[in-house]
């Protein structure tokens, strides 16, 4: 019996072990690439498309072993009226992930955007004072993290808390609760799910010196206070009209040297339209370099694209005249960027 159990254990280990990287063979899809590189490869999920588009759902589940709810877990979505929760879209993302062997990133618990109107109006009118606001924030974190306890690999606990000048963002949280709200958010999230990895997440963190230094300071302060913070999220929203952030690898190391794991959480590479073969080649190079940066750092565990298809992209609505930011086109056909990701190898 012992010999049989040992044999079964060996088989299980062999099946779970990552596939070796072969220089002469390109993986068939991103899931296989993920096993080869030993890095989760994920996508943001449009919950409406997940429910209503069979081709979108098929490609999402075939290609990715990690997912992030693009909007379904944000506060304005899950609690549009105070005390009245709507978990339908978020639950659907989590359940689809369970059925398709995908891990989940929770996004996001504390942000200055996409807050419910009742909260903003209450704070602005004075109907919600600082004491009550802190209680509301704690309740939100405990409720949402608690609902998905054991089902979320990592949470973006605080999102974009540093502004473009390198200062703490002048949000309702900073104005009314002071900078201590950041530590509180991590403590509450950890209390609600002690096994989840807890992240600070931001944009332009790949290159913006002021934002980098301030964020490093936040992390060092939290760790000095023994606040449970486990990861740093680099959003990875790039544009080919700008130089690729050449010292991204060095920046990532500065954070992982503090003991954090790292993730590229929202990668996309936009361009001024129309798309051309030359622009798509540059885009492919940027995507490949981002994933290669992650793979080269042993503490980088996840590479997530902010949507995989140009059919559903936030870019055209936010950047006039720009688009084509994803690795597949509107018809879900792979672009050069997709093939460039498949070509990445662990050295």
**Which residues have a Cβ under 8 Å from the Cβ of 99 and sit 6 or more positions away?**
none
Q: Which of 70, 79, 144, 160 is catalytic?
A: 160
**63 in catalytic set:** no
Residue indicated by tokens 């009118």: 125
Using the CB atoms, write b or e for 256-279: b if 16+ within 10 Å: beeebbbbbbbbbbbbeeebeeeb
Phi, psi for residue 57 in degrees, rounded to 5: -60, -40
The residues that bridge with 300 in the sheet, in sequence order, are: 262
| Active-site hit among 70, 206, 266, 302 | 266
* φ, ψ at 155 (rounded to 5°): -115, 135
266 is catalytic: yes
Please check whether residue 232 is in contact with residue 271, taking contact to mean a CB–CB distance below 8 angstroms. Answer: no
Distances in Å between the Cα of 211 and the Cα atoms of 98, 107, 177, 270 are 36, 21, 21, 22
CA distance 281 to 262: 27
Question: Where in the sequence numbering do the catalytic residues fall?
Answer: 160, 266
């Amino acid at each position: 019996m012992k010999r049989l159990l040992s044999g079964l254990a060996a088989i299980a280990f062999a099946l779970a072990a990552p596939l070796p990287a072969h220089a002469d063979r390109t993986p068939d899809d991103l899931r296989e690439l993920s096993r080869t590189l030993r890095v989760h490869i994920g996508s943001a999920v449009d919950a409406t498309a997940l429910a209503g588009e069979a081709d979108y759902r098929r490609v999402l589940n075939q290609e990715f072993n990690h997912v992030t709810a693009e909007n379904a877990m944000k506060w304005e979505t899950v609690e549009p009226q105070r005390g009245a929760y709507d978990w339908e879209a978020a639950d659907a993302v989590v359940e689809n992930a369970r059925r398709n062997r995908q891990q989940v990133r929770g996004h996001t618990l504390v942000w200055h955007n996409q807050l419910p109107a009742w909260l903003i109006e209450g704070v602005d009118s004075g109907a919600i004072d600082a004491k009550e606001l802190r209680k509301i924030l704690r309740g939100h974190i405990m409720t949402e993290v608690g609902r998905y306890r054991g089902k979320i690999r990592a949470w973006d606990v605080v999102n974009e808390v540093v502004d473009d000048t390198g200062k703490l963002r002048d949000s309702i949280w900073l104005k009314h609760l002071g900078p201590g709200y950041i530590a509180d958010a991590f403590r509450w999230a950890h209390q609600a799910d002690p096994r989840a990895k807890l992240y600070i997440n931001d944009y332009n963190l790949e290159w913006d010196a002021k934002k980098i230094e301030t964020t490093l300071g936040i992390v060092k302060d939290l760790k000095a206070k023994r606040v449970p913070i486990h990861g740093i999220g680099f959003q990875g929203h790039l544009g080919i009209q700008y130089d690729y952030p050449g010292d991204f690898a060095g920046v990532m190391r500065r954070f992982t040297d503090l003991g954090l794991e790292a993730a590229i959480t929202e990668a996309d590479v936009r361009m001024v339209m129309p798309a051309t073969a030359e622009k798509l080649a540059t885009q492919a190079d940027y995507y490949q370099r981002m994933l290669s940066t992650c793979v080269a750092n042993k503490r980088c565990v996840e590479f997530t694209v902010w949507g995989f298809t140009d059919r559903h992209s936030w870019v055209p609505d936010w950047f006039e005249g720009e688009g084509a930011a994803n690795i597949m086109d509107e018809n879900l056909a792979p672009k050069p960027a997709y093939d460039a990701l498949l070509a990445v190898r662990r050295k």
